[in-house]
Structure 1
Amino acid sequence: MKTWIGAALAALIALPVWALEMGDDGLYKQPWIRDTFKDLREDLAEANTEGKRLVLFVEQRGCIYCHKMHEEVFSDPEVSQFIDDHFFVVRINLHGDTEIVDTDGESMSEKAATRKWHVLFTPNILFLPEEVPEDQSAVESAVAVMPGAFSKGTTLDMFTWVQEKRYELDGDEDFQRYHARRIQERNANRPESEKKFD
């Protein structure tokens, strides 16, 4: 009896404290990813009604970089809460067959849309403005595109930069300069051994 209890306890201790939940499609679930009909014009209108920004997450089954983002970045409460508070997230499957309607009104499968948007790898995050001209696709109207996996600092800075509409500001602080300034601000109060450059 003691051996069985000891083995069960050892197995329980070996489990990760936080486990990613995955859907039947092989894509990770997050509470802030919306399950919509994927008519991006309707999603944009709903995002605006909620006072949020529409964001398209392009991911695929088995993507190690998507896994990294979900496990190391999106699992962070600060990042997750910021996304939930300010963004309306719709996931697009790079190889998916679900029909979507692009912001220009064209209807096609997810995989056809990602080809149209020239998405070659995942994750790929497209940030849309509040208003999109009727003749522009999602990628044509995007105010920013975040291609690839990044650290918490870079990811949070990109979401913040978009949420604050810094892409509209005149001046010399593009995203790279904004991000560099934010790194300096985060490091200002850290001991030398704890400084990060993400």
Structure 2
Amino acid sequence: MTRLMSLVAALMLALPVYAAEMGDDGLHKADWMRETFKDLNEDLAEANAEGKRLMLLFEQRGCVYCRKMHEEVFSDAEVADYIRDNYFVVQMNLHGDTEIVDFDGEAMTEKAAARKWGLLFTPTILYLPEEVEEGKNAAQAAVASQPGAFSKGTTLDLMTWVEEKRYELDNGEDFQRYHARRIKERDDGKTD
């Protein structure tokens, strides 16, 4: 009986973990995503009131890379906790018909916004500043974007780089240099 229980336990551990449920729209739903009216100025104000950064997460039905991010990156406890603690996440559907209001005041569907902002891939994450200059749209205002599925380390490094406002620092360490340093630190055992 003990051997059978060990075999069952091993099989359970081998099964894939699905961290996010699938919504009626075919997009993954994580507990750290916010349901909003998708008025970006209101979303930014709410994010700021909570002391968080606004993140726009574009996905689409059937996206294998979105699934990869949800199953392999967003499901990681360290990443999920970092998102919950630091980001106000609004999910957008690359082909969606839900109306949004851009920072510049233009009302349009999610799919029209994706075209306006030049978004071609999913997932794409836009990281927004705490203040958006008048007249700028979300793509123009974004301090960073993440087009595609990346590993846990790259994703967490970019989220940290944005949250710490390292894009404002005049130390010559752009994201690529910051990420390379973080990889070396992890390899040397100095960070998680």
Answer yes or no: same fold by TM over 0.5: yes
Deviation digits for residues 173-194 of structure 1 (CA, Å, limit 9, x no counterpart): 100000000000001039xxxx
Counting only pairs closer than 5 Å after superposition, residues 8-157 of structure 1 correspond to structure 2 as 13=12, 16=15, 18-19=17-18, 20-157=20-157
Alpha-carbon shift at residue 172 of structure 1 (Å): 1.4
Contact conserved, 1:22 with 1:28, CA < 8 A, in 2?
yes
Q: Normalization by structure 2: what TM-score? A: 0.90
Structure 1 alignment gaps of length 5 or more: 1-8, 191-198
Q: 1:175 to 1:23 in 2, by over 3 A?
A: same
Question: Which secondary structure state, in structure 2, belongs to the residue aligned with residue 121 of structure 1?
Answer: coil
DSSP 3-state at the match of 1:48:
helix
Structure 2 equivalent of residue 6 of structure 1: none
Letter in 2 for 1:107: A
Greater than 3 Å deviation, 4+ residue runs: 12-17
Contact residue 105 and residue 134 of structure 1 kept, 8 A: no
Q: Against the structure 1 CA distance between its residues 160 and 13, is the aligned structure 2 distance closer, same or farther, given a 3 Å change threshold?
A: closer
Give the direction of change, closer, same or farther, for the CA distance of 1:17–1:67 in structure 2 (3 Å limit): closer
What secondary structure, in the 3-state scheme, does the structure 1 residue paired with 2:108 have?
A: strand
Deviations 1:118-145 (A, max 9, x none): 0011110000000002200000000001
Report the equivalent of 1:165.
165
CA contact (8 A) 1:56 1:127 kept: yes
> Alignment identity in percent?
69
SS of the aligned residue for 1:140 comes to helix
AA aligned opposite 1:42: E
Post-superposition shift, 1:13? Answer: 4.8
TM superposition score normalised by structure 1:
0.87
RMSD of aligned Cα (Å) = 1.8
Cα separation, 2, equivalents of 1:182 and 1:124: 22
In our comparison, the structure showing a higher alpha carbon Rg is: 1
Could you tell me which amino acid in structure 2 is paired with residue 154 of structure 1? T
Deviations 1:56-92 (A, max 9, x none): 0011000011010000000000000001100000011
State the distance in 1 between where 2:94 and 2:59 align: 6
Change (3 A) 1:151 1:14: closer
Residues 28-72 of structure 1: per-residue CA shift (max 9 Å, x gap) = 011111010000110000000000000000110000110100000
Q: 1:149 to 1:51 in 2, by over 3 A?
A: same
**Structure 1 residues 14, 175: CA separation in 2 closer, same or farther (over 3 Å shift)?**
closer
CA spacing shift, 1:181–1:109, aligned 2, 3 Å:
same
CA drift at 1:171: 2.2
Q: SS where residue 91 of structure 1 aligns? A: strand
Find the counterpart in structure 2 of residue 5 from structure 1: none
Aligned-pair CA distance for 1:170: 0.4
Contact 1:34 1:89 in 2 (8 A): yes
Residue 5 of structure 2 corresponds to none
